[in-house]
Chains A and B, each alone.
Chain A
């Protein structure tokens, strides 16, 4: 059973702080990794993708990948109340479909 694990949270951070969201996965053959943001009652929205070990930055978001440790993370700098949402980690499996974690709920306190 391929698994993607996330801490359900909530992770509470003050406005302006760095939020760090983590994800581990079980399928060592996975090559593509994604972070989705989901606001309450809405559908998931893609915010980051990463395919190679290391860091990938896009604005206030940085995705980090360590395939040896089977670990993916998302850093959100200068967190804003509008970043409050559930963040879903997704991993592409060998049959080219995405397996999602259960999500981490982030609360940014004004």
Chain B
């Protein structure tokens, strides 16, 4: 597609529920990144993929968070047993190659609210 697409744009869930957030990167972009942004803060790194494999998952806060990219294109961020502290905007970005060379293109984000 022309840009990075994220769905849903908004998600409200109850504490303890499971959620999946989807990211469809720009066609041909091999690197895909997940960030989380809380109000008044910059994006916080979660995980990035080079192709199908997770190249760096050091930002995942705990084992409730998991992400996959099985065919090297679309990625899904999965959060189990959601907590109110998980409420944030989840941003996905993609780039042509590893790292920021040329910069990332961000999607419009998924605003997750855990009530």
Contact = CB atoms under 8 A, between A and B. Distances in A.
Interface of A: 4, 6, 8, 32, 34, 42-46, 49, 88, 90, 92, 95-103
A4 B58 CA distance: 17
Interface stretch (B13-21, B64-72, B79-87, B99-107): B99-107
Interface in B9-54: 33, 35, 40-45, 48
A97 B43 contact: no
Given A46-B104, A95-B56, A32 B99 contact: yes
B106 A44 contact: yes
A97 B56 contact: yes
By size class, the interface of chain B is 20 to 34
Interface of B: 33, 35, 40-45, 48, 55-56, 58, 91, 98-109
Most buried by B among A34, A44, A100: A44
25 contacts: A8-B40, A43-B107, A43-B108, A43-B109, A46-B104, A46-B105, A49-B100, A49-B102, A49-B103, A88-B42, A90-B100, A92-B99, A96-B48, A96-B56, A96-B100, A97-B33, A97-B45, A97-B48, A97-B100, A98-B33, A98-B45, A99-B45, A100-B43, A100-B44, A102-B41
Contacts of A46: 103-105
A96 B108 contact: no
Most buried by B among A43, A49, A88: A43
Contacts of B41: 102-103
A42 B100 contact: no
Contacts of B101: 32
Contacts of B42: 4, 6, 88, 90, 100-103
